[in-house]
Amino acid sequence: MVEAIRRRAAVFLWGVRAYGFIAGMWVRSTLAYRTSFLIMATGNLLTTFLDFVGIMIMFSHVETLGGFTLAEVAFLYGTSSTAFGLADLFLGTFDRIGTRIRDGTLDTLLVRPVPVLAQVAADRFALRRLGRVAQGGAVLVWSLLRLDIEWTAGRVLLTAAMLVSGGVIFGCVFVLGGAFQFWAQDASEVQNAFTYGGTTLLQYPPTLFARELVRGVVFVVPLAFVNWLPALRVLGREDPLGLPGWVDLASPAVALVCCALAGLAWRRGLRAYRSTGS
Amino acid sequence: MGAAAEPFLEVEGLEKVFRIRRRAGRLRRERVEVRAVDGLSFTVPRGEMVGFIGPNGAGKSTTVKMLTGILAPSGGRLRVAGLDPSRERVELTRRIGVVFGQRTTLWWDLPLRDSYRLMRRMYRIPAARYRENLDRCTELLDLGPLLTVPVRQLSLGQRMRADIAAALLHDPEVLYLDEPTIGLDVVSKSAVRRFLADLNSERSTTVLLTTHDLGDIEQLCERVLVIDHGRLMYDGALAGLHEVGESERVLVVDLARELPPISGLDGARTLRTEGPRQWLAFPASASAAPLVGRVAAEYPLVDLSVQEPAIEDVIARMYAGRTG
Ligand SMILES: Nc1ncnc2c1ncn2[C@@H]1O[C@H](COP(=O)(O)OP(=O)(O)O)[C@@H](O)[C@H]1O
Ligand SMILES: [Mg+2]
């Protein structure tokens, strides 16, 4: 038992290291074309920035949105956007797994001594995706300056844990979506609905949406743990479902459960892989 | 330990069944089973070089995928260096090298040298050994000018040579090549053949070479395995294969001018003529040299080439020989 756990841990660490050197190779090769990298990164930053400008314009007409002030909405936006940005930075090219499964190029990854998950995730690692993290971080910092909240140690810790767990939960959705493609070849659309759709949803206060939708987001797809539930606690507000208070602190645990599920699905998916005839 | 006596590849009653859904009519879909590999058995001792030959769709690639652990068998037993490939895939990866003719293991957008660097880190190859192996491959496969070129800019022949080098950097005990000469130019083809022959004799790397072209293995493999419809049809020397099939090779000669069909040569008959070019069939088990000598002595010979029999014809004759 102990031996098995030790071996798992060793494989995990080796996978992380391999991710590091594969991603590093991609970074070095993209930095070789510095101007094109700068253009891409700036473009990325601009488009995501315009995204938030839309929300600010909305607030030029109304005082509050679902009872939330601009600073509070910015806090929701910043946390969800940063968490998503982190997942997107590290696993954003993961949906290419579908192509690899369909055209059989996954074969070449299976004969190498590096976990396939790490190889797929690190493939074409692009630093320009930092743009989204930077924009989310900027909005978050701006909201922190405007929010009228006393920053106790607990609140700081909760916010940090929220960002990390949120990134992990989004990442798990990426991996789950990828694993699903071993069985259903067109699952990437569904997964995009969860991740890209999910992050847009989480940028707004939960009070805006129908109760059923909120419930679905909490229990079916645990995206509400990315920021809604813990953010409401930080902002000192009640959640619209009236869930017990400890739920707001459950994000890290939910993230761990997501990891276990995603890992399991991935391994079963790999076993179901059948390559292609030539 | 008696390791030498023990077979390196052990395949016993190997099966692979693909269940696929196929369109039947406009809306209806039906499930069909494809028996890609159907009760295959053979063994290969360490250090042998074996040709694995059969027509398209015979099950060669599927067998290689099971030997490398990419696919799990549907039935039968399989051991490579004592390991069960699909269960111990990751452990096995360090001990095998694979070249898929149709797809590259290299990174399209990176310069060749960067691909090799990644390989080095993935396989944790000690620096000295890496340098030595890379230098050797670079020289023998003529990769020097290509190392700084992104892989997507390589020609098919260059890419294939680059892929073979990539498969050998970690000193694998066995090298699988799945149709490595498909679409190669003549120069690349002979460079690859020479390289493989050296590899096998100097490093005693076990080599399994898959092809549907008899010409590929003629100068390389003493032993061939012929498969068709996932079953083993023949296991033995290449010369023996020609005897069993009584197949013929074809000598194509270009003469200086148009002449009546060549005749009166023992064991050869003229199939057809077209201007100054003539096609002469002779038994595949015989050497072409004496025939060439006599043609050259009696006719104004300009150019010549030898065509191997198509594997489909050899197999067709085997079936005919069995029933007749
Ligand atoms: N992944 C797959 N899914 C379904 N059928 C396959 C798959 N791979 C191979 N086949 C079928 O199995 C048979 C053998 O294929 P393959 O091993 O690629 O033959 P070869 O390499 O000898 O040309 C063919 O009929 C092929 O269509
Ligand atoms: Mg094939």
Structure tokens at A110: 């299976």
Judged by CB atoms closer than 8 Å, whether chains meet at A25 and B117 is answered as yes
Whether B323 maps to a domain, the answer reads no
Q: What are the tens digits of pLDDT across the range B16-48?
A: 999 887 777 777 778 889 999 999 999 999 999
| Chain A contact probe: residue of B65, B68, B151, B212 with most A CBs at under 10 A | B65
- Top pLDDT among A102 and B216 is at A102
Q: How far apart are CA B211 and CA B216, in angstroms?
A: 7
User: In angstroms, how far is CA A271 from the centroid of its own chain?
Assistant: 26
Instruction: With H, G, I as helix, E, B as strand and everything else as coil, classify residue B38.
Output: strand
∠ CA B97-B51-B119 to the nearest 5 degrees?
10
From B107's Cα to the closest Cα of chain A, the distance in A is 9
pLDDT at position B187, please?
Answer: 76
Any domain includes B34:
yes
Whether B319 is in a domain gets the answer no
Residue B313 lies in a domain: no
Q: Which domain holds residue B195?
A: 3-242
B321 exposure class (CB count in 10 Å sphere: 0-12, 13-18, 19+): exposed
Q: What is the pLDDT at residue B283? A: 86
DSSP category for residue B237: E
Q: Among B226, B242, B258, identify where a domain stops.
A: B242
The answer to whether residues B127 and B74 belong to one domain is: yes
Q: Residues B155, B301: one domain? A: no
Based on the domain organization, do B203 and B258 belong to the same domain? no
Shared domain for B268 and B121, answered yes or no, is no
ipTM, 2 dp: 0.84
What length does chain B have? 324
Token code pair at residue B199? 């590899």
pLDDT band at B117 (very low <50, low <70, confident <90, very high): very high
Q: Residue length, chain A?
A: 278
B188 shares a domain with B108: yes
- Going from the C-alpha of B202 to that of each of A13, B4, B47, B197, B223, the distances in angstroms are 37, 17, 10, 8, 18
Residue B320 belongs to a domain: no
Q: What is the mean predicted confidence (pLDDT) over A26-37?
A: 79
Evaluate whether residue B201 is within a structural domain.
yes
Q: Which of B194, B218, B242 is the last residue of a domain?
A: B242
Q: Which residues of A touch B (CB under 8 A)?
A: 18, 21-22, 25, 29, 104-105, 107-108, 110-114, 124, 271, 273-275, 277-278
CB-based burial of residue B203 (10 Å sphere; 0-12 exposed, 13-18 middle, 19+ buried)? middle
Residue B150 sits in the same domain as residue B202: yes
Q: Is residue B321 part of a domain?
A: no
Residue B232 sits in a domain whose CATH number is 3.40.50.300
pLDDT band at A63 (very low <50, low <70, confident <90, very high): confident
pLDDT tens profile B258-272: 989 988 888 888 888
pLDDT score of A183: 83
For A171-195, what is each residue's pLDDT tens digit? 998 898 888 888 876 555 666 666 6
Chain Cα centroid distance, residue B309 = 16
Same domain, B167 and B137: yes
| Nearest one of A208, A199, A1, A218 to A86, comparing CA atoms | A199
Closest CA to B226 of B102, B54, B20, B11: B54
Contact B240, B262 (CB under 8 A): no
CA distance A26 to chain B (A): 8
The helix/strand/coil state of B83 is strand
- Same-domain check for residues B204 and B282: no
* Ligand having the closest approach to the CA of B21: 1
Atom 10 of ligand 1: nearest residue by CA position: A277
**B138 shares a domain with B123:** yes
- On whether both B13 and B112 belong to a single domain, the answer is yes
What's the confidence (pLDDT) of residue A128? 81
B157 shares its domain with B260:
no
Dihedral (Cα; A225, A228, A230, A233), 10-degree rounding:
-150
Give the global pTM: 0.85
Provide the residue type at B299 as one letter: Y
Provide the pLDDT confidence category of residue B1 given band limits of 50, 70 and 90.
Answer: very low
Q: If you average pLDDT over residues A218-236, what whole number do you get?
A: 78
- Residue B71 to residue A275, Cβ atoms within 8 A: yes
Poorest-pLDDT segment among A89-103, A119-133, A174-188 = A174-188
- The total number of structural domains in chain B stands at 2
Q: How far apart are CA B235 and CA B240, in angstroms?
A: 9
Q: What is the mean pLDDT of chain B?
A: 88
Same domain, B276 and B187: no
CA distances from A210 to A148, A220, B85 (A): 28, 15, 52
Domain boundary (B193, B215, B242) is at B242
Segment B158-177 shows an average pLDDT of: 94
